[in-house]
Amino acid sequence: MEDWTGILRLDTEVRSGKTVARNVYFQGAYKVMRPIYHDESGQVCYYILNPGGGYLDGDSYKMQITLDKQAQLTLTTQSATKIYKTPHTLAYQETVMDLKEGSYLEYIPDPIIGYRDARYKQKTNIHMEKGAALFYSDIITPGWSPSGERFSYNTLQLINEIYMDNELAVYDHVKLNPATKNMDGLGQMEGFSHLGSLIVIGEKTDSNLIDKVYQAIHKDSTEFKIGLSELPIPGFTLRVLANSTQTIEKIVADCQRIINEEWLNKTPSFLRKY
């Protein structure tokens, strides 16, 4: 694909104890704000902006992120990714992330909102060297529909491939297809409307950490369902079904707090924009 609607490239490295951008490039309907340092740790935060306001028919986006050795980056968005009606060609986003030894990436975007007749595919390839760490989340929510339907979008598809030292270690594929599936059925959304996914990878992950995360988020509640699974490499994945964005964001924030305290010995910064 050559004619991208938006392109973003961000390469980071450590200088004088702080993570800084070695290279920043963007064009089209992609931009990043100036770097923000929320504390004295040297970890940098960038906010991604989409001046177009949403993804339209045939839009395609490409993002490339690189973290050099020991770099620490928080990457988030300024607002939700809104997918509007795509009658002819689906909207597409492709992301490649490269994490060198000792680096740490937090990728915590705002929700993906699928509006009526939206079709969207997102493919993310993450290449990690041994010793790198990752905190990666996604939230899928339905957009407003004039008919009041909870699932008026056509298809939302998210594919994650994570490689450790050039070997595929994690493959995660979510495809919500209300056009052909009963979303309230068993194995689908089962009465819920929002889906959250979290992938955490790092050599400091052990059974004690996973137990601590589970105890912090597990509650006997009808507001959500969760599933937590250990990965074949040091790490875990979490899936959340709920009926509100805020419920899932609270669970992701609880996990982020624990990871930051255990791995970085600090409290995470508040990223929400509202």
Query: Is residue 190 a contact partner of residue 183, using CB atoms and an 8 Å limit?
Result: no
Q: How confident is the model at residue 96 (pLDDT cuts 50, 70, 90)?
A: very high
Q: How confident is the model at residue 238 (pLDDT cuts 50, 70, 90)?
A: very high
Q: What pLDDT digit, counting tens, does each position of 250-273 carry? A: 999 999 999 999 999 998 877 665
Q: What pLDDT digit, counting tens, does each position of 130-161 carry? A: 999 999 999 999 998 777 788 999 999 999 99
pLDDT at 169: 98
User: What is the distance between the alpha carbons of residues 104 and 72, in angstroms, rounded to a whole number?
Assistant: 5
Task: Concatenate the DSSP letters of all residues of the chain into one string.
Answer: ----SEEEEEEEEEETTEEEEEEEEEEES-EEPPPB--STT--EEEEEE-TT-SB-TT-EEEEEEEE-TT-EEEEEESS-EEE---SSS-EEEEEEEEE-TT-EEEEEPPPEEE-TT-EEEEEEEEEE-TT-EEEEEEEEEEPP-TT--S---SEEEEEEEEEETTEEEEEEEEEE-TTTS-TTSTTTTTT--EEEEEEEE-TT--HHHHHHHHHHH----SSEEEEEEE-SSSEEEEEEEES-HHHHHHHHHHHHHHHIIIIISSPPPP----
Identify residue 97 by its one-letter amino acid code: M
Identify which of 158, 171, 47 has the alpha carbon closest to the alpha carbon of residue 93: 158
Phi-psi label, residue 31: left if phi above 0, alpha if psi -120 to 50, beta otherwise: beta
Q: Is the pLDDT of residue 7 over 60?
A: yes
pLDDT at 147: 77
Average pLDDT value for the chain: 94
Average pLDDT over residues 87-101: 97
pLDDT at 274: 52
pTM higher than 0.85 for the full model?
yes
Average pLDDT over residues 220-226: 91
